[in-house]
Amino acid sequence: QAALTSKTKDPYPDWKPGEPVPYAALCKTFSLVELTTKRLIIMEHCSLFLRQVLRLTPGDLLSTVLLMINKLAPDYAGIELGIGESLIMKAIGETTGRSLAVIKQDQKEIGDLGLVAVKSRSTQPTMFKPKALTIQGVHKGLMNIATVTGNGAQGRKVDGIKKLLSAADANSSGKVDITKDKGGPSEAKYLVRFLEGKLRLGLAERTVLVSLAHAIVAHEAAEKDQVPSTADIEKAEAILKTVYSELPSYDFIIPAMVEHGIMNLREHCKLRPGVPLKPMLAKPTKAITEVLDRFEGQTFTCEYKYDGERAQIHYVAKDADEELSQSLPSASTEVGRGVASIFSRNSEDLSRKYPDVLAKLATWVKEDTRSFVLDCESVAWDVVEKKVLPFQQLMTRKKKDVKIEDVLIKVCVFAFDLLYLNGESIVEKSLRERRELLRQSFQQVEGEFSYATSMDGQELDEIQTFLDESVKASCEGLMVKMLDGTESGYEPSKRSRNWLKIKKDYLSGIGDSLDLVVLGAYYGKGKRTSVYGAFLLACYSPSTDTYETVCNIGTGFSEAVLEELHKALSETVIDRPKPFYSHSSGGQHQPDVWFEPRFVWEVKTADLTLSPRYKAGIKEGVDPASEKGISLRFPRFIKVRDDKKPDEATTSRQVAEMYRKQESVTKSKGPAVDDDF
Ligand code: ATP
């Protein structure tokens, strides 16, 4: 708060009201953020800068926030740069007139492409002074790079990068010393890091969101010659967090916030069909008794935990509210009387994967159901035996551009929640009410659409029997959910204590599997010499934006799977670990090859132990000396998680929680925390 009220000297004197925000001003903020690890100071720098944007050029606020969180558009727009190290190196070389060999050598020595760009840029003779970069210009340039397709796309991407790089640091005076202050506020450095997908500022998206709330509340107060109260700041923060969890799209939120003010934002930005929300997630448990302890004195319900792919189905009838129909992505499919889209767990548009589901949608939506958002699991379905098939069958389906006539593995949609109905968000209603509305608004059609099988019994033996039945029905176990009261509301983006999962094999191991990022590999031995035989895996730490290694794994792979993995991973090989990989430096522990962080695998383990060789959860306080990380014992590969991005992997905090839980089954207390931040 002090920073919001203090009369700080204007750090960007060149930027005049109404003028486009200079990219250099953002880079200056980035460099200040990079020099500290203190979250409050980081927040001060960010909110001060955002406040300045609001005051001088509010029209640029959206692009500014997006560049701060290393995104170009909301996740569901599917816009990704997808640029590997080699393209960036090529562009740096061609912009600065240095050979690719020299760039590669620098990268080997420095290990940070951003700094390689700074070094290359500062040794480059400048013939003429290019026009300085602006935030809008950079956003547009990056957008162009991300969206080029077709013939020669790679070449045009390189051209796009070159264009930005050659204008970078137009205003900087003299050479930047890369050994000092992490390379300083160089534009080239941050451009390259953006292209790599990691700004590495320790600037979590959640911090930007909170800074934005602080900035707007301070700006609004300043307009009235006032200073915001602590209560106002807290209220603004809470409003923005809630709004963002229901409508995770700055494209809607920022213009509404600027126009209507932060305190009125909830009236203008609500969950709406067309904008996928981050789903609610469950906490793992190790025993039915743990579930009973948690829900003691409250009613709960058990549902089958289907083993398929999460599917959020959005629908608007054509003659429903016009504004709503417009918010559906242009790629939405016409289904009977309306248009619909299906989104994945991480907000990707799955409509081209499930045209068969969309084609049948009209058969299970009742006539007077005008608009909805459903939370479901799409599960492989045996049309002959009329039952659920294991997940492996679903994996054999093509991922996009599926033609209905080619579908071999049919899917049935199992709906377990309804979040929006007939123009209204219903996330705050109790689960009992939402379930009632779900059953009134849709009809079950065998093999197409079904409600998740549920059981409301509260006794241990009833739950045990239901769990056994779920396993017989090819499910993963049970989801146990609070049924009544405010705690049973749907909590978007939260891993909540109000949803617990019990997996069928909870009695062995640590209760849950982990989703880990593949960072490196070891060449195979014996029969496996032509493929990788073992891999180095890591969890993700959102607070430091690093991948922390957690195990080597060589078990659970068939020969065919190893071959497939080899093919996919070979394309992502890099010369040395990224600076945001945290692994022990001992020579004997290094993998033979390193990869870009791209693939997430589900892995099971017998238990967790501490080891000086790995870094997982090292900052989570499980080892007082902080020398040992947590590692998996006897890890086993289960499957590739296509529906998770690397930064959606199991977090270091979750690993630490699992480690502590196996020591003594303590019940975690307190409110649900955001999973992704
Ligand atoms: P995992 O799927 O590996 O357990 P996760 O992190 O993807 O982990 P969790 O919160 O652990 O998600 O488990 C919830 C997942 O289970 C949902 O994402 C959904 O895909 C699936 N699921 C299956 N049946 C149900 C159900 N009845 N209620 C809620 N989720 C269900």
Gap from CA of 281 to ligand 1 centroid (Å): 7
- Going by DSSP bridges, is the β-strand pair 629-633/573-574 parallel, antiparallel, or unpaired? unpaired
pLDDT at residue 672 in the model: 46
pLDDT band for 626, please (50, 70, 90 cuts).
Answer: confident
pLDDT in tens, 303-319: 999 999 999 999 999 87
> Which pLDDT does position 630 carry in this prediction?
95
**pLDDT tens digits, 512-527:** 889 999 999 999 887 7
pLDDT band at residue 614 using 50, 70 and 90 as cut-offs = very high
pLDDT value of residue 68: 96
305 counts as catalytic: yes
Q: What pLDDT digit, counting tens, does each position of 255-272 carry? A: 999 999 999 999 999 999
- Predicted confidence band of residue 671 (pLDDT cuts 50, 70, 90): very low
Q: What are phi and psi of 610, to 5 degrees?
A: -95, 140
Atom of ligand 1 nearest to the CA of 310: 20
Report the separation in Å between the CA atom of 514 and the middle of ligand 1, taken as the mean of its atom positions. Answer: 13
pLDDT of residue 664: 45
Q: Which class for 7: exposed (0-12), middle (13-18), buried (19 or more C-beta within 10 A)?
A: exposed
CA atoms of 446 and 360, how far apart (whole Å): 11
Nearest CA to ligand 1 atom 6: 281
| C-alpha–C-alpha distance, residues 11 and 122, integer Å | 24
- Binding site membership of 305 for ligand 1 (Cβ less than 6 Å): yes
Confidence of residue 248 (pLDDT cuts 50, 70, 90): very high
Residue with tokens 């080029």: 148
- Is the CB–ligand 1 distance for residue 578 below 6 Å? no
* pLDDT at res. 337: 84
CA angle 206, 419, 259 (to 5 degrees): 50
State the closest ligand 1 atom to the C-alpha of 513, by its place in the atom list counted from 1.
3
> How far apart, in whole angstroms, are the C-alpha atoms of residue 66 and residue 63?
5
The pLDDT of residue 334 is above 90: no
pLDDT exceeds 70 at position 556? yes
343-373: pLDDT as tens digits = 999 999 999 999 999 999 999 999 999 999 9
Q: What are the C-alpha distances in Å from 247 to residues 76, 244, 263, 429, 492?
A: 11, 5, 16, 18, 10
pTM for this predicted structure? 0.84
Least confident residue range of 172-186, 226-240, 588-602: 172-186
Q: How far is the CA of 405 from the centre of ligand 1 (A)?
A: 30
pLDDT tens profile 365-395 = 999 999 999 999 999 999 999 999 988 899 8
Q: What is the pLDDT of residue 6?
A: 45
pLDDT > 90 fraction of the chain, expressed in percent and rounded: 65
Mean pLDDT score, 117-121: 83
Interface predicted TM-score (ipTM): 0.96
DSSP 651: B
- Determine the pLDDT at residue 669: 42
Assess whether the C-beta atom of 282 lies below 6 angstroms from ligand 1.
yes
DSSP string computed for 219-281: HHHHHTT----HHHHHHHHHHHHHHHHHS--HHHHHHHHHHH-GGGHHHH----TTSPPPPPE
| Whether pLDDT at 670 is above 70 | no
pLDDT score of 674? 44
pLDDT for res 329: 64
Enumerate the β-bridge partners of residue 520.
536, 594
Beta carbons of 615 and 601 less than 8 angstroms apart: no
Residue-level pLDDT at 527: 73
Q: Whose CA is nearest to atom 31 of ligand 1?
A: 305
**What are the pLDDT digits (tens) for 571-597?**
999 988 998 999 988 777 899 999 999
Q: Is 303 in the pocket of ligand 1 (CB under 6 A)?
A: yes
Q: What is the mean pLDDT of the chain?
A: 89
Candidate ranges 482-496, 633-647, 657-671; pick with highest mean pLDDT: 482-496
Q: How far is CA 636 from CA 287, 524, 663, in A?
A: 22, 17, 21
Structure confidence at residue 178 (pLDDT): 67
pLDDT category of residue 172 using cuts at 50, 70 and 90: low
Asked if 75 and 205 count as a contact pair (C-beta separation under 8 A), the reply is no
pLDDT digits (tens, 9 = 90+) for 175-200: 666 666 676 788 999 999 999 988 88
Return the ligand 1 atom nearest residue 303 CA: 27
| Cβ of 601 less than 6 Å from ligand 1 | no
Model confidence pLDDT, tens digit, residues 388-439: 998 889 988 988 888 898 888 999 999 999 999 999 999 999 999 999 999 9
Q: What pLDDT does 264 receive?
A: 95
What is d(CA 585, CA 181) in angstroms, rounded to the nearest whole number?
23
Residue 541 to residue 651: CA distance in whole angstroms: 5
Mean pLDDT of 619-625: 85
